Structure 1
Amino acid sequence: MLVTRRTQMSKKKEPHLNPEQESTENTAPQEATETSAENVVDSAESDTIAESPESIQAALEAEVAALQDQLLRNQAELQNFKRRMTEERIRDRVLANVELVRALLTPLDDFERGLLSEADNEQVKPHLKGFAMIRNSIIEVLKSQGLEEVEARDRPFDPKVHQAVATEKQPDIEPGKVTEVYQKGYLFKDRLIRPAMVKVSE
């Protein structure tokens, strides 16, 4: 009985596959391989498109343009810095000269007052000529450096350059004119360093 069953089991046939099923099973691995290969090709083509010569050139041109723009900005900043430094040095020199010139005005005023007060003294007249020459030489040197005397006498009063310290009524003079100068005013390089002290008609 056992022999018969074993014989029957041994005689059982393996499941039979029709040609279509065999074809499907045989082609499935091949299709998977082809699909994988196509994906690799597509990925490679995508990378090639992303790194095409045109895109690389465009990226390089953009980078060059950015660098050129930054270079121009740096050059402009450098020029502005140099200009500011030059202007500051000039301003510092001018300010230093202004203080020096302003300090010299008081001795010049003393020279002028001394020359006027002793003009009638015959004994000192020869010395006054020498003092006048020294004063005039100093004035000429200062004028060559930018000193200008403020015009005042017989001029309309200008509060920008004149300082009224007295007024007077004169029928033959129109109001608002400078009739007398007590102390000369000066400009240095077009900058007022001392206003003229004047008397003004009412």
Structure 2
Amino acid sequence: MNTEQQQKAAQASEENNETTYGADVTEEAGQDAAAADQAAETSEPQGAVQLELEQLRKQADENQQRFLRAQADFDNFRRRTAKEKEEFAKYASLKLIEQLLPVVDNFERALAVSKDNKDHEALTKGVEMIFRQLDQVLASEGLKPMESVGTPFNPEFHQAIMQVESDEHEEGIVVEEVQKGYLLKDKVLRPAMVKVSS
């Protein structure tokens, strides 16, 4: 190979290297731009994710505060209800006792008068009036006596203490009431103690 040919080959090789180097530089620049675009694209979703994460944290804190307030309100309600229930049980008989106080007053007056006065008939009338007053108070609270004599024996309402022979009643009929039974509204407060025909 002569010198001229060598120079041409060297020049062609140099041009080829420049083209390759230029292509490499262009390719690197393209890769850098793509990486920058990808980083920008990646940073946009990361920013959105961070923003959404902050909003969710804020919402979780608000829900936690709401829960704590609701829990405190419920605890206060439970304590208040327990206290009211306790007070109600403690003073449940308040109304009845207020109604019975005039009866007690009348008994005291009757006893005071009976000491000074020996009029037994007046005392008996006074006690009868007080009894009627007491009966009215109890009736207003729903207490009523049972009517047992002449009715069939019922173990829910009667307590049999004796069986007696009876010509005028058939078997299983209450013939005598030894102790009166009472109903409070529709519930048996005390069964009647009775004698039943056999």
TM-score, normalised by the number of residues in structure 2:
0.56
| CA shift for structure 1 position 182 | 0.9
2:112 aligned residue: none
Q: Does 1:152 align with 2:140?
A: no
Q: Does 1:195 align with 2:194?
A: no
TM-score, normalised by the number of residues in structure 1:
0.55
* Structure 2 spans left out of the alignment, 5+ residues: 1-10, 98-118
Q: Does 1:185 align with 2:184?
A: no
Show CA shifts across 1:61-86 (max 9, x none): x9999998998898888778777765
1:30 aligned residue: 29
Show CA shifts across 1:133-187 (max 9, x none): 1111112122223322233222222222321111223243233222111111223
Q: Does 1:43 align with 2:39?
A: no
Aligned partners of 1:139 and 1:32: how far apart in 2?
Answer: 107
Give the root-mean-square deviation of aligned CA atoms: 4.5
Show CA shifts across 1:95-129 (max 9, x none): x57xx8xxxxxxxxxxxxxxxxxxxxxx8444322
Show CA shifts across 1:8-58 (max 9, x none): xxxxx9x845243212331243133213212222223424665799xx79x
Pair 1:161–1:92, CA change in 2 (3 A): farther
Letter paired with 1:43: T
Letter paired with 1:36: A
Aligned partners of 1:187 and 1:154: how far apart in 2?
Answer: 18
Percent of paired sites with the same residue? 26
- Secondary structure of 1:199's counterpart equals strand
Letter paired with 1:149: P
Q: Hey, which of these two has a bigger chunk of helix by percent? A: 2
2:8 aligned residue: none
Pair 1:21–1:80, CA change in 2 (3 A): same
Letter paired with 2:166: Q
Aligned partners of 1:160 and 1:88: how far apart in 2?
Answer: 32
Q: Does 1:173 align with 2:172?
A: no
Aligned length: 161
Pair 1:145–1:176, CA change in 2 (3 A): same
Letter paired with 1:138: L
Pair 1:79–1:46, CA change in 2 (3 A): same
Identify the range of structure 1 (134-143 vs 189-198) with the bigger mean alpha-carbon deviation.
Answer: 189-198
Aligned partners of 1:73 and 1:172: how far apart in 2?
Answer: 71
Aligned partners of 2:88 and 2:171: how far apart in 1?
Answer: 42
* Structure 1 spans left out of the alignment, 5+ residues: 1-12, 101-122
